[in-house]
Structure 1
Amino acid sequence: MKKPSAKFEYKTFALGEKLTEEQKEYFKKYGVIHFKKFIEPETAELFISELAKIEKQWLEEGIEKVKGIPLKFGKDHEGNPMIQRMCFTNQFSPVLAELIKDPRLQLLIELLAPYEGRISEDEKDGLVFNHYINQPNSKFSQMGWHTDSPRDLFLGQKILPMLNVGIHLDNCPSSNGGLRVLPGTHTQGVLKLLFGKKQFIDHKPDPREAAFEIERGDLTIHDGRLWHRVEVSPNVGEKSRRRVMYVPIITGKYKPKTDQSKTPFYHRFAKVVTK
């Protein structure tokens, strides 16, 4: 594994009752920040249990889309169907709905300053659950380099600032794959933002990339304009399992999704996201 660029000072923080100036300046410089122990391991287990209930219900009911957003299906080690990407999970569990109302998450809106932001409860894809596992039947083991900005263009709007907030439900040392970013690329121009790499297709490590030493319950936040990817685990089966929930903090006009929402055009390219 390549080491982070010498210019990137990898630090972790604790999220208290307010953001410190150091934390805000760190995020402004690098476009990413890592908070330790946002939730307790027992709480992470509770969330995993809630997600399993939702998954079971959706599989039994044969649900393939939620509010127009396709689910991503794979199979477990026994060949049974599993859902490896679920969206709007906060709307199907009171426990997860309460999570995204956590006052500490509201604090993160400050990282969008001077823009006003909001946590996406019923916009974009809501609270997303990604279930990465490296095995023969898996359809979700990695994700290529991308920024989160092209979606705005596909939706016919200008690129708007946003944050992606990740709540990690498993230990994920950098040796087990996981999140990789190019620190500081959130300040790049539009051309590099869109064409600096082949969006979702390019999986190659970059000498400038930084990895993270993540433990169950940690929180990561990255600017949507930052180049990032998810590295495949070198392990197979249970040792490769990585579960993470993401909720965006967004700006712009309020655009809620409903059961009548159409599937966004960019989902036609979903097959290139993973290998």
Structure 2
Amino acid sequence: MTDLSFIILSGWSFDEFCTCKTDYYLFFDSNYFDNTYTNMIPFEPKTFTLGEKLTDEQLWFFNKYGFLHFKHFISKDTVKQFLSEAHRIEKDWLEAGLTKMNGIPLKFGKNPDGASMIQRLCFLSQNSQILHEYLKDPRLKALTQLLGYDARIGENEKDGLVFNHYVNAENSKFTQMGWHTDSPRDLFLGQKILKMLNVGTHLDDCPKENGGLRVLPGTHNQSRFKLLFGKKQFIDHRPDPNEVGLDIEAGDLTVHDGDLWHRVEVCPFTGENSRRRVMYIPIVTGKYAPKDAGSKTPFYHRLAKVVQF
């Protein structure tokens, strides 16, 4: 693993760094970063039910902590249907020998039985009418209230509807994900950091004892500097004493602010018992920026191959 942290432009002011293209870069020394967040706000866990309009309590909770956890958003039958669609697309892409979709690299690995698999797929809803219709659910649209009037579901933007397939096996390439924030990726597209959300549809049971999503409540309200450099982006996998794990059931929905620090903890089990599948769709703001077959690969995806996140 390369001892590499986040990238910052060399010789530019902080304001220029937040607005210009990433043509030059320098690497911070890893000793700069402290793993532990201090002065954290008190946190009281709570889950919700999502309707076609957010409640005042849900808005308050999100504004304070930076995420929401909705129980039983889709039925178990719908979970099975979505898994079937995702694995159908995976099979088609493996047979076709695809390595990218709309410029975004696919992430390949091996199942516990040794069979080839794609562990990160993108733009799934462009290849499934079922998943395309799912993104029209008015309850999902209700989440745009968290960002304001110009927010929209990014079906054709960023990486579209992503399918992450974690499994802790010998030849798996996707077992965990280090601490990171989502919104700074705008920098690599030559854009200012804009507000965004990531909405997760969870397709496997994952109690917090089995690893899975970890968040640092309230860190979405940090300074811009902390957003970028609060931890070593993607490289740092160490637990934080202030982190919160979520007890996830298949069919649950989570939403977190793109500025919130979060990670994915590796499952303590191996093989089939470690399997965790989740779909993510961004809710975005700013100028409409769709991707298509002619889109270039963003720099941060090329960087991912170097640092193996």
Q: TM-score, normalised by structure 1?
A: 0.96
Q: Which residue of 2 aligns with 1:52?
A: 87
Q: Percent identity?
A: 68
Alpha-carbon distance in structure 2 between the residues aligned to 1:75 and 1:203: 22
Q: Which residue of 2 aligns with 1:30?
A: 65
Return structure 1 stretches of 4+ with deviation > 6 angstroms.
none
Q: Which amino acid aligns with 2:133?
A: E
Secondary structure (helix, strand or coil) at the match of 1:255 reads coil
Q: How does 1:124-163 map to 2 (within 5 A)?
A: 124-163=158-197
After superposition, what is the alpha-carbon deviation per residue over 1:165-200, rounded to whole angstroms, capped at 9, x for unaligned? 000000010011000011000011111100010000
Alpha-carbon distance in structure 2 between the residues aligned to 1:121 and 1:22: 28
Q: Which residue of 2 aligns with 1:219?
A: 253
After superposition, what is the alpha-carbon deviation per residue over 1:3-55, rounded to whole angstroms, capped at 9, x for unaligned? xx781111000012321100000000000010000000110000000011100
Q: How does 1:235-250 map to 2 (within 5 A)?
A: 235-250=269-284
Match of 1:262 among 296, 301, 307: 296
Aligned 8 A contact 2:107 2:121 in 1:
yes
Q: Which residue of 1 aligns with 2:219?
A: 185
Match of 2:198 among 151, 164, 167: 164
Whether 2:237 is the aligned partner of 1:203: answer yes
Whether 2:52 is the aligned partner of 1:17: answer yes
Aligned 8 A contact 2:41 2:218 in 1:
no
Alpha-carbon distance in structure 2 between the residues aligned to 1:176 and 1:41: 20
Whether 2:257 is the aligned partner of 1:251: answer no
Match of 2:103 among 36, 49, 68: 68
Secondary structure (helix, strand or coil) at the match of 1:194 reads helix
Alpha-carbon distance in structure 2 between the residues aligned to 1:264 and 1:18: 35
Summarize the Cα distance change of 1:37–1:157 in structure 2 as closer, same or farther, 3 Å threshold: same
Q: Which amino acid aligns with 1:99?
A: Y
Computed over aligned residues only, the root mean square deviation of the Cα atoms, in angstroms, reads 1.0
Match of 2:130 among 72, 95, 100: 95
After superposition, what is the alpha-carbon deviation per residue over 1:234-275, rounded to whole angstroms, capped at 9, x for unaligned? 00001100000000000000011010000001112213354x
Q: Which residue of 2 aligns with 1:174?
A: 208
Q: Which amino acid aligns with 2:79?
A: A
Match of 2:75 among 17, 30, 40: 40
After superposition, what is the alpha-carbon deviation per residue over 1:190-241, rounded to whole angstroms, capped at 9, x for unaligned? 1110001000000000011011000000000000000000000000001100
Deviation at 1:79, TM superposition (A): 1.2
How many residue pairs are counted as aligned between the two chains? 269
Structure 1 unaligned blocks of 5 or more: none
Summarize the Cα distance change of 1:164–1:273 in structure 2 as closer, same or farther, 3 Å threshold: farther
Q: Greater Rg, structure 1 or structure 2?
A: 2
Q: Which residue of 2 aligns with 1:105?
A: 140
Aligned 8 A contact 2:41 2:217 in 1:
no
